[in-house]
Amino acid sequence: DQQVKQNSPSLSVQEGRISILNCDYTNSMFDYFLWYKKYPAEGPTFLISISSIKDKNEDGRFTVFLNKSAKHLSLHIVPSQPGDSAVYFCAASASNFGNEKLTFGTGTRLTIIP
């Protein structure tokens, strides 16, 4: 049972435009959500997170939106840059379980076209 889903395995965006990556979850106990960026053969790099008490969090070019009623979150990157080309994973955890266990989505490969 895939509790966190990223339905788009890949996405291509022109440099300078907005990249929007989507993530859906099914477990209503999740209350903390994160986005990681990963290059091949490297560890995931933390980008941005959001708690379920918020619906938006912004950090520089990265903004995460959370829609709890739809169990949906999205990551907006604007403007997109060539260095943003990577695989992006969303992840979720539940404070009832100490936030120890991260459940990852299957990832979306983002390609920024110069």
Shortest reach from residue 83's CB to other proteins, in Å: 17
Q: Is 102 in the site for other proteins (CB under 8 A)?
A: yes
Shortest reach from residue 68's CB to other proteins, in Å: 15
User: Within positions 70 to 99, which residues make up the interface with other proteins, using CB under 8 A?
Assistant: 89, 93, 95, 98-99
> In whole angstroms, what is the distance from residue 8 CA to residue 19 CA?
13
> In whole angstroms, what is the distance from residue 64 CA to residue 14 CA?
20
Question: Dihedral sign, CA of 82, 19, 62, 72?
Answer: negative
Binding mask of the shown chain, residues 1 to 40, with x at each position contacting other proteins by CB under 8 A: ------------------------------xx-x-x----
Tell me how crowded residue 19 is: count the other CB atoms within 10 A of its CB: 24
DSSP code for 7: -
The footprint of other proteins (CB under 8 A) covers 31-32, 34, 36, 41-46, 49, 51, 89, 93, 95, 98-102, 104-107
